[in-house]
Amino acid sequence: MDDIWIEKYRPKKLSDIAGQKAIIERLQAYVKTQHVPHMIFAGPAGTGKTTSALSLSKELYGDTWKNNFHELNASDERGIGIIRGKIKDFARTAPIGSHPFKIIFLDEADSLTIDAQAALRRTIERYTHICRFILSVNYSSKIIEPIQSRCSVFRFSPLTPDDVKRYMRKIAKNENLEITADGLETIIFVSQGDLRKAINVLQVGASISTTITAELLYETSATAKPRDVEALISTALKGDFMGARNKLYDLLIKYGLSGEDIIKQIHRSIFDLSIPDVSKIKLIEKTGEIEFRMTEGSNEHIQLETLLAQFALYGQNLK
């Protein structure tokens, strides 16, 4: 179990990347024609943005890909200095071999400051003849318009449950693991389309047992069972505030969850309650307000108790 599975099972070719079929076909066409534009890879974490950039460069350059591909994480150095220093120095040097251009991959580029993005725009403009830029972002709207207009935007979507299941079965076969049906469903629930998180959850479970069950995954992934969270909400809506409060602290202690983890799971569980849609709207509104207070620095235990109190009061009106 010394290997980090995220790297061990990172696809080496574009055709091996899970999901994102339309995007992969476009990238394969670029490899075939040897024509690559500047690109923005936008989408949630764990959907294949970095892997796509690495696989593209490997198929373009072959054995010399490391000399013609430069990766930087923009969240480490966010200022204008990184653009004027490392990026500019690499961009203005000629590519190795017979290739017409090299590639600079900027991961988490949406964390660059506005001034740094303005300098990057000028660098992209000036060195297009020998360099291509790929920007990986969670939110493309955080990239200034002059850069967006110079790039082809690829929007990565969360992986479908079938894609995640297929990849988990592949890893389980290679690692001699047995994943139960409820274990697979739990991985899908926990990962929410994030394949990186799914692989991490599976590896943590595999470090304890070769049989991966739902019970094991909930214990090792710091995720409460959906039925426990639904029971917490239902108890509050019945007007039993102290009962709901006891269930809340059972969850916090049993699963080691933070207040932010709990509020996210409460939000997801509200949609599965057997109550009118108008009631769900009210509960979501109250949940959003409490989540905002927590992100602003309020005490999470007090805020969660406040949420349960509001649910209890609303439950009385619901009756």
Which pLDDT belongs to residue 187? 92
**CA-wise closest residue to 235 among 221, 249, 223:** 249
Q: Are residues 20 and 145 in the same domain?
A: yes
Q: Are residues 247 and 215 in the same domain?
A: no
Structure tokens, 156: 């990565």
297: CB partners within 8 A, 6+ apart: none
Which pLDDT belongs to residue 226? 87
Phi, psi (deg, nearest 5) at residue 242: -65, -35
Question: For the chain, how many structural domains are there in total?
Answer: 3
As a whole number of angstroms, the distance between CA 25 and CA 23 comes to 5
3-state secondary structure of 107: strand
Q: Which amino acid is at 152?
A: S
CA 293 to chain centre: 24
Structure tokens, 35: 């024509």
Q: Are residues 9 and 121 in the same domain?
A: yes
Structure tokens, 23: 């995007």
Which residue, 169, 187, 220, sits at the end of a domain?
220
Could you state, in chain order, the average pLDDT of each consecutive group of 10 residues for the chain (319 residues)? Answer: 77 85 90 89 89 90 86 69 73 79 88 85 87 90 90 91 91 90 91 90 89 87 85 91 90 82 90 87 93 90 93 79
Which CATH number characterizes residue 237's domain?
A: 1.20.272.10
As a whole number of angstroms, the distance between CA 138 and CA 142 comes to 9
Which pLDDT belongs to residue 88? 78
Q: Are residues 62 and 119 in the same domain?
A: yes
Q: Are residues 75 and 14 in the same domain?
A: yes
3-state secondary structure of 238: coil
Q: Are residues 11 and 136 in the same domain?
A: yes
The DSSP annotation for 15-60 comes to: GGS-S-HHHHHHHHHHHHHT----EEEE--TTSSHHHHHHHHHHHH
289: CB partners within 8 A, 6+ apart: none
Q: Are residues 199 and 267 in the same domain?
A: no
Q: Are residues 60 and 97 in the same domain?
A: yes
Q: Are residues 238 and 129 in the same domain?
A: no
Q: Are residues 80 and 47 in the same domain?
A: yes
**CA-wise closest residue to 3 among 179, 211, 203:** 203
Which pLDDT belongs to residue 61? 86
141, with CB counted inside 10 A (0-12, 13-18, 19+), is exposed
Q: Are residues 117 and 167 in the same domain?
A: no
**CA-wise closest residue to 56 among 11, 7, 89, 95:** 11
- Identify the domain containing residue 284 by its residue range: 226-318
Cite the beta strand spans of the chain per DSSP E: 39-42, 69-73, 102-107, 131-137, 152-155, 178-179, 211-212
Phi, psi (deg, nearest 5) at residue 248: -60, -50
Which CATH number characterizes residue 168's domain?
A: 1.10.8.60
Which CATH number characterizes residue 88's domain?
A: 3.40.50.300
Which residue, 136, 155, 174, sits at the end of a domain?
155
Q: Are residues 37 and 132 in the same domain?
A: yes
